[in-house]
């Protein structure tokens, strides 16, 4: 697992529409990619790309 010392524990920001804030979503996907298997990491990358296009 890669350790990223620039991030501290904090609450996630939610938008008024119930969606996770784009920045927090991107950070969450990146963190998950660091600890998941290669197959899951690939799927997370795909979802992250899709969420960036939609927003």
- Predicted confidence (pLDDT) per residue in 3-44, tens digit: 444 555 578 888 999 988 888 888 888 888 888 888 888 888
pLDDT recorded at residue 46: 82
How far is CA 47 from its chain centroid?
A: 9
Q: Which of 33, 31, 13 is nearest to 23 (CA)?
A: 13
| Residue 33 · residue 47 · CB < 8 Å | no
DSSP conformational letter for 18: S
Phi, psi of 5 (to 5 degrees): -80, -5
pTM surpassing 0.85? Answer: no
pLDDT recorded at residue 53: 64
Residue 55's pLDDT band (boundaries 50, 70, 90)?
low
pLDDT recorded at residue 5: 44
């Amino acid at each position: 697992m890669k350790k990223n010392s620039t991030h501290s524990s904090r609450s996630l920001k939610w938008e008024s529409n119930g969606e996770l804030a784009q920045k927090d979503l991107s950070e969450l996907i990146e963190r998950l990619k660091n600890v998941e298997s290669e197959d899951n990491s690939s799927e997370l990358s795909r979802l992250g790309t899709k969420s960036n296009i939609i927003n």
